[in-house]
Structure 1
């Protein structure tokens, strides 16, 4: 016996939208304004002509595999990646506080100094940032964190182990935020417009969001990232895809998913064709990418921006790797990235990437770039095991790690090249064990 639908769910047809010939914008806004509705279904194709700002929690969208379009949509503002069809967002509040650290904040520690802990309620959420170093955005922390314990008058515990050490005197700034919770978007096929940035559109942006998931979103002809996240915590993006975005050269365009200042996310079972990036982490930490695959990926399928990302894991993926290579404005830094069972045409981590681990990685030369087939890596706590490439090139631009550099049980057709002169010269000792070249010679 079919279960009768309750008042907690509804669909577009109940508001007179039977196909894509009539815009679905008004119907959507009416459903969103009813707080008793928790599930919105779409059983037919839909067309939207407005970009919707959604500020409510606890709602699920299920498009049941139908096509969503944006023919005739209002123009986007210039250089606004959050001009998505659905921009689902919490909000920053006016409460801003700062403290100059009276003592160091050690790495992987979760107790933070504050000016007055009476102002930090248990379970409240804050955007935590620090004063920049040399680069304009060279900040070791910019995260949305939750207070989990009041320690004493000037210390609180957050739900995050700080990835980088701070010396006394560094300034931490706290801005209170009201996140959005538990908004999921599922089972959408999406076709964007092809005229350029003004009418370019992508389906989904999440900002100041907790436990907000996206699944089975399959897009083509988009401009900005299909699923854009900033200050998100605890989410899953799965079984999503992007084919042939309309722009891949302009920075920020043509991604399947970009995650800016995010925590505890998982991206899995996704794929992209001819995109700029399948997955980008910018200033994010404690995230995982699993069973994701890019083709036509010569701009880099899997990248980090270099804004002090840390503790990221990639397992069972395919596509070009490029870590922390966006330049000194953001710090050119990352730490503790692990890549396991990966195949691709190029691997780049020659910036200040510390404690990189590669295991069972195969880098195979293709026709796009002359440098394809190479691994270019920073020799700072680097460990490479069971890997294959045309050539391994080692440079060194940082000296943070306490662990040894080890190259073990690997095969490099043209051997290992160690840079010995210039500003990127390798200064650390390297243990090369059971690693051979095409002639069977140990490197």
Structure 2
């Protein structure tokens, strides 16, 4: 097989709930305390993966994490029965579903040793995500265990916050050719924390052996963070030679654009003006938190949430864009409303890896038949509904644990992923 883009989606876990734990994530705050529907959420994510497969794309999968995280609770001197409500909620969080935060990935074409490098994100800024990385790292080391093709790194040390691919973009002529890697960091954002530290980005670039002359460090605009763009992928997305971005995504956009054009003269920058789509509407619709993909016929499609259709002016602008002569020629709406209500769109749910699929553990790659089996388990085991007050219910906890064990056993990973 040949090198290609593979999208690894996080399967939404059985503890999916709306506890409102993510400061700066407006959807998470807006829906705090609402009833979540884990079964529907997971099935929506599976259907998104089917959509990718039917367009001829290669699709991978990451599993939910074991919840509640008893190891983390023990380190805090408590357990799920005795923890304070906010600590219990953090231990039960299903936020690992957003695989864009799992790691930063540099394809072999960009690295000094010509292996694909992955650095697991430490996610230290948010308590409910800060304990994800050990289980994420275990999956990465299984999926990408071929050390002739991959190098998997542990997390950047704290206090330097690293949020993975959600603050990283890569532009290139083709996926299998050397590209320009763009690390987007924050400094401040009004009342909200900037989650990606520049030192974390620089560390990842060094670990991956990237060529400094083809590596850019770009600051996210304070305006974007303050408006609720807690990650860069809420206001910008890149694929091959195309950057699709909001006018207010970057602090010094003119300088960034000039540097990018100098390194990749064929780059096409599709900038959405604030006069057409405000930052508020961009964040509400998540039109940038979309998967911008190259289809087998060579055209590009934007896989975006159906929520974007709820804003007529925004949707009209998108339709006019694809009707024009630009590089993005197709809109593919997908229903991920359960994820969206917690602040994660189609791009949040996936980690993009450019590699040869034959080098990847096949248990982490999916086809329609494998998704059928996973969907059947979700239908049978995932809770239908969870309210935040339910997180202390021992019967619910037992069901969540059994759900995890069942899907892990089904994928023949129970001997490798020990809770």
Q: TM-score, normalised by structure 1?
A: 0.25
More strand by share: 1
Choose between structure 1 and 2: higher helix proportion: 2
The structure with the larger Rg is: 1
Compare relative contact order (CA 8 Å, sep 6+) and give the higher one, 1 or 2. 2
